[in-house]
Structure 1
């Protein structure tokens, strides 16, 4: 019976874990199936539907939706539906339509295949059992979802990824300083949410200049298949919504924010997670908001999960920081004045945490801690810590618990994670090298006029169309502008600026002096960058790729790749200011600031291209300035006013907001500059002291809890070192037809063999395949080498096909054993727990498919405890399929009895498995719920919907685990022979 009729029961061949499906609708082209147990609906092509009809025969036990069971004796057809006839437990006869079958009832592909003579190879059966074993083991590893990506095991990144990805619909601001790995943190969170089923669709919005970098990063580091969407791609979809083109969509912010039609299409899609990079560019004030902010705000209201990334959360002031938090939780962050007051209160909490380190024996410290502790449990811990009679172990435990409670309840880390270099540590020093040069006469002439005549500035601003103070700081730009508007006036039309500018000669000398070391050059203006590269070619014969906003994304990527190539790449690359945003050049240690940016945050962004995790050398910062020029005065303000070149400090934007106007006026006046520097320094030191005392101190403490991070890293290393993986992989690759070639140095090359099964990730017949390694260090050292782990897409696909398909679920083998007479029959049955549930519950954390092996002799005696799987498997011999089918046919009745006996034996173990899973689930979720409930009384950053979701999740998991059943997953028939018979 192959005709689809509503009400019939079918299963998915490729997604058996969905449970028993019901045909909902059928038309000439498609069939729609509801899998009620897992709350999923699928639509398939009628011609190629990967579905198998579920029909039960005499002797099968079936279950109705109300939980009653029936032993099938016969069946009949009624309007295309099967009606089963059988007896219940009391011996009474009933009829049960297939529409009334329980959605959770297990179906038995292995049994049906065996009894119809369909048997597979013994090594396939072995692989299936080992797959079940490894999947069960790996599913419960606490590092699942974090071990596969090709990353260094950096504590603060692991902690943030672990903490955020555990939450229901996480909504957080990732605000680590430049170079600390926000993109990696976001990728880890996304990877784990996808792996555990908590997210299926994500929209990633990044600046136009970073789209290809994100695309490559997600592919190389996280093996995520992302669709890059732009206008051209969108138009190719015609009237269809282009945002439905993939599960993971990456798009340019500039493109989407400028296109209301595409925004409406994006908003019409169902997303689980929204990621927004460089979120500080979203304009908002209490009076108005920009189109980008409005777009993200609308999306954020509809999308459950939200990750905002910015290295400068307060770049535009406290109101700008508040604007990001409004996107995360508009109910919590709705009043700017209240938010300011709350932020000020964190000083007391930070002081209390520091005070814990001085206890016992310090009365002032005890008072400081007691001022913010108001519940009985915490007060008891404080009393233990303050009691000099407590032993050292008790005091350590009390101090650790109090510290965690204060961070949880009063810290802002529920919604914002910010690590700084000083907190993370291990960064190389920065060295500033200033080259003081004599300005050419053409530049000096302009500056002298500006110094003597204030009106001349206004004239030049009008004449050149430049802004103030750009006209004074970027003298090459002024030179070009004057040459354009006054072509007949000497000297501005005499020769290109780079032929008279001594910084060009100095740069050529620098490049000669550093030998083979690479140098990144950043200039404020695009035209300066382009013409400077031309100057290097003409004057020094040096090829310098240029990176600027006028290039296409592909051209930018090509320039960056040319610079990054260690062997044949360029020694130098010249960038406009766009080169300071997002791109990573930590393989380079020389940075030339051909000029200085006016904004402190841009200065830090420039340095941050080199000063990143992974940088192994001191950062050499080179700044050529003209003696006595506005550029040199700006350099003094940066150095003397805020130590801007020493390390990032995060208060530069506030200092510029306070003194930027005064600084612009002082760029031609040394005396005025001294006053501005003094005032800047005073505010700088004040803000650093406040930061160290208050909110930022709490953020640093909360953004990486070392013990938790160490536990995650240890779990990842455990998976990395798993000796079972290479053995399993060798067997799986051989069975699936993948050729494997050892290359040495822990490298292996995989490619499709002539008989490979289709559709394996990264492998296509006739193509080269890929090189991979199990070594994390080897994989990190080469971009072209993939990291093989239990989470690699190829291994996940292999395991998934085995677990959800029929490969190896039947077999027949011969056993030659001197102590067992020939002709005896044995049945090795492998049952698996079947627990259909929505993916978002991630039930595998507590009850992954669990194998129950039962080995029966022909009398029904259970030999499982006496004969191990491995011990038996190594003594088995293969048999031809034709012989196997004849043997099965001749022993049909006996096999049916053994199958029923084996099911009864396996069912005895199910209650223990279910109870253990429920205890694990309740232990984890009850502890988390108690913690969040206590936290919610003190910290309003815990959302009510998060608490409700956790309660609902616990209830749904409890019901799902309670409803777990056993399903016969595989059966191997074993017939004993003697040597004479064998011959």
Structure 2
């Protein structure tokens, strides 16, 4: 006779996701089960049905089909059906027949799964415990969020990312000089905020020409998939808001700033972070606001976090620089006049910081420091430092603390980070190669007439339609604009000796990559055509008139080291944002009129990681305005030797005089001399004041070194390789050793679905544990604790039932057969908003309890590893029978283990509170002290940190333990098979 009766509740051993099943009918041959929650019906052989009867015991919580719940006290059976007896939520007595149990009841919890006979593989249980252990350890590592990205460990980038991403709502200006990695800094900040839960949605606005570069960089370096929005993508969303289409939205500034409707849709979304690249293009003055600035200002008013990126913060003058600070904090930066007055006092602070290094020294050094410090908390430090009787350790500690206080409390260092090449170091030499050429007859004719006839310039401006001084510097444009002249019948590139010179230079350079930049897109297009026609060279052109796809194809063809082209011809747009670091030859076919544009050109090649000297090749026509412009750059401000950030000031002061002197060699000499004097004075003034403070504050080496050390610790973690190998095996991912610390990961037919980068039927990807190897090869992924594949596998284990039950056999000569032990893993549960990043103080913490069948606690006597390596697997059918036969005993042991685990909870909570208070109390005290002297610390920032501390304290106090996994261990004879 069958044990099945209609109305009984059973679950499928192989398809637990079907939910609770009801026996519809049965006979000697088959049994039919309806799984109501999934609307599935299964028919099994009654002799070998893979089903387990669901029977609840005292203390279990069950749910009725009507939605109410009850706690089971007892049960009774009649006609093969069980009726449960207990109390409802109000404490009133009630009964619930098993036929009335809710079909949707899930058995994910370890206790329920175990007692209903659902057990997983023993190695799954092992992996679950190790996952919880590693997750607990990694979440507290100070490098969390910074170790996973595929980037070099460059100190100033790590410091900025660590400092900014610690803040609850970071609002900063990333203003490192060209080539120092502002995009990487923004990516690191974004990656950490996402990983720690401080941000969930971000809007990234970049120039149109850089959208695909950002898209690729975020995916390649940070494994972040973003949604690129344009008008075509938006139209496909119909009436729904397209900005809700993804977690991370990337959009073109040109497109968004020109469309009020799309701006309103972006405004309507909830963002945690707004990133704006090339922010110097945002136009603002006290009398007029540009559309781009207005759009960002509206967004920034309700987005908590804001990152503005620009390599030239003062390109458009101090007013433009102030306007960007105003976006970060309009209350703090409300008056341009007040801001200018404040900056005048930064020299005193910089001098005080220099004086610290000399103390104990002259009395004037002590006075210089005393004039700028807070009396309340800094005077004691100064007294210690100035006291000749203090020992070296005391003086060093006081000097360090005072220096940090001064940097924190003065200047714009909290809202603006600017590293210079001089400060960072390690950049390649710049070598200028100037080629003087004779101008062709058509150019020479115009230049000679200009020198003889003062009125001809006005006539030329009218005829050509060009502006002054472009018409003097870009002679090819002037030639093209006067095409109606019968003497200008030939294309300009057929008469221009710079083209011949370039062809010769390309031949000399062999296979070396060469980036060519010209001011105008017509010049760039013509030059590309000339190289094709005259030299048979494929020279892709890159300018603003091309579509984004065409520009990306051109850049990709240039970047290809094997089959790519030798030369890429760009208009001025090619000197902004793009990274051509793999190339070290730059041909400036002409020169830009603004010094900052000149630096942007050079900065496409002169970047961190460049391993070759930068060779700058500049052809100029002898005694021409172009050559005189080069002299102003070279002799007036050393523009080719290194960036200095004063280009905007110099152009504002001498741009008009320079334009007038381009036809007058004597006047040019005077302009160069005046420029040089002004340049040296401003350089000294800047280095003594604000920029000196910014450089000191933009990278604190001790902090950067500690972050790098923490990343190295994670990179070199031996447990990582062991863990990933075990997880890949269990998740069904094949790993093939390719040699050289490379392996090919590919999906097996048994792979569990939904793993990042792995799709059944596809090849998979190559990976390495070596950061150096991953940086050297774009096609190889870097396996870390933060890699999406690792995090997905860990999340699948920790958030689901995988491996939360197991049954194993133990053969041991000193333990009689038939004994039972239970190994339970409890996990701390502390509900709190993700934005608080509770895990840095109290990540899910495992409490292991091992009991023998008498209830004796063996946890301290037998380690998890020592036990696991002696266990053997058992077939599932036998495991279910063993559990069924020991139901009562197992329930008692589960209850006893819970009481044992609860004894560990107070110490866990107390330690977490201590870690939280130690960290946040110190940071809060620091912020409150800063706020008294430095208005850059917003009141909202102090209040947010205080609220965060209080909320975390409440959440930690509410921590509870819950059963995460349980393994039943049965001892057997040594001879048993």
TM, length-normalised to structure 1: 0.90
Partner secondary structure for residue 966 of structure 2? strand
**1:531-930 alignment, distance < 5 Å:** 531-930=526-925
Give the deviation of 1:525 after TM superposition.
1.0
For residues 253 and 425 of structure 1, do their structure 2 counterparts lie closer, same or farther at Cα, with a shift above 3 Å needed?
same
Q: Which residue of 2 is the match for residue 327 of structure 1?
A: 327
Q: Do the aligned partners of residues 47 and 444 (structure 1) sit closer, same or farther apart at CA in structure 2, a change above 3 Å counting?
A: farther
CA 1:790–1:511: 2 relative to 1, 3 Å: same
Alignment partner, residue 8 of structure 1: none
Where does residue 405 of structure 1 map in the other structure? Answer: 405
Give 2:436's aligned residue. 436
Q: What is aligned with 1:60?
A: 59
Which string of whole-angstrom CA distances, capped at 9 and with x for unpartnered residues, describes residues 795-835 of structure 1?
00000000000000000011111100000011001111111
Residue equivalent to 1:81: 68
Structure 1 residue 570 displacement after superposition: 1.3
Equivalent position of 1:114 in the other structure: 114
What is the Cα deviation at residue 211 of structure 1? 0.2
Indicate conservation of the 8 Å contact 1:634/1:667, yes or no.
yes
Q: Relative to structure 1, is the Cα distance of residues 591 and 47 closer, same or farther in structure 2, using a 3 angstrom cutoff?
A: farther
Aligned to 1:171: 171
Deviates more, 1:308-317 or 1:384-393: 384-393
Q: SS state of the match for residue 822, structure 1?
A: coil
Match of 1:974, SS state, is: strand
- CA displacement at 1:553 relative to structure 2: 1.3
Q: CA deviation at 1:951?
A: 1.0
Deviations 1:310-337 (Å, cap 9, x if unpaired)?
0011111111000001100001110110
Give the conservation status (yes or no) of the 8 Å contact 2:55–2:116.
Answer: no
Structure 2 distance, partners of 1:331, 1:289, is 18
- Identify if the C-alpha distance between structure 1 residues 86 and 931 changes in structure 2 by more than 3 Å, giving closer, same or farther: farther
Name the structure 2 match of 1:145.
145
State which of 83, 89, 96 in structure 1 corresponds to 2:89.
96
Contact 1:827/1:971 (8 A) holds in 2: yes
Tell me how far 1:78 sits from its aligned partner.
Answer: 9.4
Q: 1:741 to 1:909 in 2, by over 3 A?
A: same
Q: State the shift of 1:605 in Å.
A: 0.3
Counterpart for residue 285 of structure 2: 285
| Match in the other structure for 1:103 | none
- Say if 1:108 and 1:969, in contact at 8 Å, map to a contact too: no
Spell out, residue by residue over 1:20-50, the C-alpha distance to the aligned partner (whole angstroms, 9 max, x if none): xxxxxxxxxxxxxxxxxxxxxxxxxx989xx
The number of residue pairs the alignment matches comes to 906
Question: For the Cα contact (< 8 Å) 1:529–1:546, is it kept in 2?
Answer: yes
Matches of 1:196 and 1:608, distance apart in 2: 33
Query: 1:96 Cα shift?
Result: 2.0
* C-alpha distance in structure 1 between counterparts of 2:190 and 2:64, whole Å: 48
User: What are the equivalent positions in structure 2 for 1:232-631 lying under 5 Å apart?
Assistant: 232-483=232-483, 485-486=484-485, 489=486, 491-493=487-489, 495-631=490-626
Whether the 8 Å contact between 2:107 and 2:113 is mirrored in structure 1 is no
The answer as to whether partners of 1:854 and 1:862 remain within 8 angstroms in 2 is: yes
Unmatched runs of 5 consecutive residues or more in structure 2: 1-15, 18-36, 40-53, 75-85, 93-105
In 2: Cα distance, 1:77 partner to 1:635 partner: 85
The question of whether the paired residues in 1 share the 8 Å contact of 2:174 and 2:182 is answered with yes
Deviation digits for residues 887-915 of structure 1 (CA, Å, limit 9, x no counterpart): 00000000001000100110000101110
Task: Give the root-mean-square deviation of aligned CA atoms.
Answer: 1.9
Shift of 1:454: 2.1
Write the deviation string for residues 572-631 of structure 1: whole angstroms up to 9, x where unpaired. 111111110101111111111000000000000000001000101111111100001000
Would the aligned equivalents of 2:57 and 2:72 in 1 still touch at CA under 8 Å?
A: no
Name the CA shift for 1:98/1:203 in 2 (closer, same or farther; >3 Å). farther
Distance (Å, rounded) in 2 between the aligned partners of 1:867 and 1:566: 58
Distance 1:905 1:47 in 2: 38
- Distance of 1:108 and 1:753 partners within structure 2: 26
CA distance in 2, matches of 1:518, 1:628: 30
Partner SS state of residue 455, structure 2: helix
3-state DSSP class of the match of 1:937?
helix
Q: What does the per-residue CA deviation read over 1:662-707, in whole Å, with 9 as the maximum and x for residues that have no partner? A: 1111110011111211211111111101111000000000000000
Alignment partners' CA distance in 2, 1:842 and 1:339 = 35
Which whole-Å CA distance do the structure 2 matches of 1:837 and 1:542 have between them?
62
Closer, same or farther: CA 138–219 of 1 in aligned 2, 3 Å: same
Residue deviations 1:409-434 (CA, integer Å, cap 9, x gap): 11321100000000000111111111
Q: Say whether the 8 Å CA contact 1:76–1:84 is kept in structure 2.
A: no
Tell me the equivalent position of 2:184: 184
Q: CA deviation at 1:84?
A: 4.4
Any conservation in 2 of the 1:201–1:271 contact (CA below 8 Å)?
yes
Higher mean C-alpha deviation, range 728-737 or range 541-550: 541-550
Tell me the CA shift for residue 459 of structure 1: 1.6
The Cα of 1:94 is off from its aligned counterpart by 7.0
**CA–CA separation in structure 2 for the residues paired with 1:729 and 1:282:** 47
Matches of 2:55 and 2:176, distance apart in 1:
59
Stretch moving more, 247-256 or 614-623? 614-623
Q: In the aligned structure 1, how far is the partner of 2:791 from the partner of 2:839?
A: 15
Given the alignment, which residue of 927, 932, 940 partners 1:945? 940
* 3-state DSSP of counterpart to 1:837: coil
Secondary structure class of the residue paired with 1:856: strand
TM-score if structure 2 supplies the norm length?
0.91
Secondary structure, aligned partner of 2:551 = helix
Give the whole-Å Cα distance in 1 for the aligned partners of 2:178 and 2:55: 62
- Distance across 1 between alignment mates of 2:767 and 2:66: 55
* Distance in 2 separating the partners of 1:895 and 1:830: 15
Q: Are the equivalent residues in 2 in contact too, given 1:754–1:765 (CA < 8 A)? A: yes
Secondary structure in structure 1 of the residue aligned to 2:488: coil
Unaligned segments of structure 1, at least 5 residues: 1-12, 15-45, 49-54, 62-71, 88-92, 100-105
Aligned to 2:601, the other structure's residue is in SS state: helix
> Could you list the per-position Cα deviations for residues 737-769 of structure 1 after superposition, in whole angstroms to 9, with x for gaps in the alignment?
111111111111111110111111111111121
Rounded Cα–Cα distance in structure 2 between residues aligned with 1:741 and 1:224: 26
Residue 505 of structure 1 aligns to a residue whose secondary structure is: helix
Q: Distance in 1 between matches of 2:231 and 2:364?
A: 64
Do the aligned partners of residues 56 and 557 (structure 1) sit closer, same or farther apart at CA in structure 2, a change above 3 Å counting?
farther
Post-superposition offset of 1:77: 5.2
User: 2: CA distance between counterparts of 1:137 and 1:294?
Assistant: 45
Provide the rounded CA distance (Å) in 2 between the counterparts of 1:83 and 1:897: 20
Distance 2:318 2:64 in 1: 72
Cα–Cα, structure 1 residues 795 and 479, in superposed 2: closer, same or farther, change >3 Å? same
SS in 2 for 1:654: helix
Q: CA shift at 1:562, angstroms?
A: 1.1
**2:176 and 2:311 in contact (8 A); partners too:** yes
Distance 1:77 1:556 in 2: 63
Residues 179 and 611 in structure 1, CA contact (< 8 A), matched pair in contact too? yes
Could you tell me how far apart the structure 1 residues matched to 2:717 and 2:904 are?
28
